[in-house]
Structure 1
């Protein structure tokens, strides 16, 4: 049985995933003022960050169309779509619409949309879980059921240099007012079970905030040796590598993946932001 794992472009693909025919991204669109950017392999992170920094306005994103999703299906017999949290984007609804349209014409197709209730490398890890289960030879319903169970156990954490984009785009509506950046207080943020954003704690300075993130992550993560951990960074590879080394000294994971953020994650993480999912 041929299968396809389609991840909206907020979910980063590793180099290995990009070379695997089972994986593909479907691009969201970004805009900074009048400049429009497609979040695909042409995305230029440095240029985008420069434009955001120079603009007085907040960058925006728009979700893929149902047609974009359906174009990615190809002739796969099993289709899995993984999207940004439905509480943060319309990408999930667009993917569901693509599924419904396609199913009318192909009633025997096995197709499922996973609401990641996360973003960035949270989506990446879900895609890898689907691949793992498919390669084990499980039937479609079992892959879906076990992946949904994996999503229920997954946690996402992040620390950003600035929360301006999240705040301006209304993604922090349920969050208490964050403390003044003049004090160099960095909130440690995370995902809720529903896929919204919450504040887990705070610390003075980026290094202490990332240490707090690691502490919170390890407290919430059971059976680390059986889990893959992923780190996405926005233009700060040394910071991400330092985190990886600290985590490896504290716990043994099945694997640790490090990637640079693609377009949508870059928009929200901003220069210097770090996202961890496990």
Structure 2
């Protein structure tokens, strides 16, 4: 199959996949303290994280424009698959849909098959979806089969995350100052998850990061099915050792097909913040 896979930059693809010609990352942008950052390979994530800590206001993100997607539609590839952030978190999905419609209007005789997958999640979940698309395309599945199987795959996925710091939630108003203060004083770490519609829910909490991560590992088992047939992706924000320890912990409990650790790029770093762990199964 002749294909390309477009992902927005909240998809924290491992470096070896980013180098493959059929993967294209379409960047979002971030406004922080009056400066605009493009979430691409040139972004110094460590420097961005430092600036985010120093800036009193929360960063503002902007999705790719339809034109940012459309410019990648030209070429010999007849099959284009796009994976985006949840439409509840960003306009990236809607922008990709508009790009497809505009392209088809402007090129009525084109032979492109363009499919857009709403991840209903972010970060590590987008990685799983992109890898699933690639596996099916390499196996020679038809476009109709890929569309069907990937949407079924998305329906069966679960995303979880634990935040080390609640500072960004306080800055953007999702937690008031009193709530954030109490959580910090008591060292409470929320365990969050994604609803099937792409919104965020609180699952539980732990006193301290270690207890919270252990509880998240338990929840993976409680909610997961046929884990031995699944890949788990762990996205870490500036805490590679913590991610390795969490990988070891879940492998003590469950037998996954594979467990992949990735580093957060700019958008996922904005959400996860320093020390955050985002897991998709």
* TM-score tier (shorter): over 0.9
Aligned partner of 1:80 in structure 2 is 81
Return the match for 1:255 from 230, 253, 258. Answer: 258
Partner secondary structure for residue 233 of structure 2: strand
Task: Give, in angstroms, the shift of residue 168 of structure 1.
Answer: 4.3
Q: What is the TM-score of this pair, normalised by structure 2?
A: 0.94
Distance 1:68 1:170 in 2: 30
Q: Within 5 A, what are the aligned runs for 1:111-126?
A: 111-126=114-129
Distance 1:162 1:268 in 2: 11
Task: Give, in angstroms, the shift of residue 19 of structure 1.
Answer: 2.1
Q: Are the aligned partners of 1:9 and 1:25 in contact in 2 as well (CA < 8 Å)?
A: yes
1:45 aligns with 2:45: yes
Q: Are the aligned partners of 2:70 and 2:99 in contact in 1 as well (CA < 8 Å)?
A: yes
Distance 1:111 1:171 in 2: 36
* Per-residue Cα deviation, 1:118-155 (whole angstroms, up to 9, x for no partner): 00010010000001111111110110010000000001
Instruction: Classify 1:168/1:145 alpha carbon distance in 2 versus 1 (closer, same or farther; 3 Å).
Output: farther
Partner secondary structure for residue 219 of structure 1: helix
Aligned partner of 2:233 in structure 1 is 230
Aligned partner of 1:64 in structure 2 is 64
1:204 aligns with 2:198: no
Structure 1 gap segments, 5+ residues each: none
Distance 1:166 1:121 in 2: 20
Distance 1:166 1:48 in 2: 17
Partner secondary structure for residue 180 of structure 1: helix
Aligned partner of 2:34 in structure 1 is 34
Return the match for 2:186 from 162, 183, 187. Answer: 183
Q: Are the aligned partners of 1:30 and 1:60 in contact in 2 as well (CA < 8 Å)?
A: yes
Q: Within 5 A, what are the aligned runs for 1:154-169?
A: 154-166=157-169, 168-169=171-172
Partner secondary structure for residue 134 of structure 1: helix
Task: Give, in angstroms, the shift of residue 261 of structure 1.
Answer: 0.3
Partner secondary structure for residue 21 of structure 1: coil
Q: What is the TM-score of this pair, normalised by structure 1?
A: 0.95
Partner secondary structure for residue 259 of structure 1: strand
Task: Give, in angstroms, the shift of residue 170 of structure 1.
Answer: 6.2
Aligned partner of 2:99 in structure 1 is 98
Q: Are the aligned partners of 1:31 and 1:37 in contact in 2 as well (CA < 8 Å)?
A: yes
Runs of 4+ in structure 1 off by over 6 angstroms are none
Distance 2:278 2:253 in 1: 18
Task: Give, in angstroms, the shift of residue 39 of structure 1.
Answer: 0.2
Instruction: Classify 1:20/1:206 alpha carbon distance in 2 versus 1 (closer, same or farther; 3 Å).
Output: same
Q: Are the aligned partners of 1:88 and 1:171 in contact in 2 as well (CA < 8 Å)?
A: no
Moved more, 217-226 or 181-190: 217-226
Return the match for 1:276 from 265, 274, 279. Answer: 279
Instruction: Classify 1:51/1:257 alpha carbon distance in 2 versus 1 (closer, same or farther; 3 Å).
Output: same
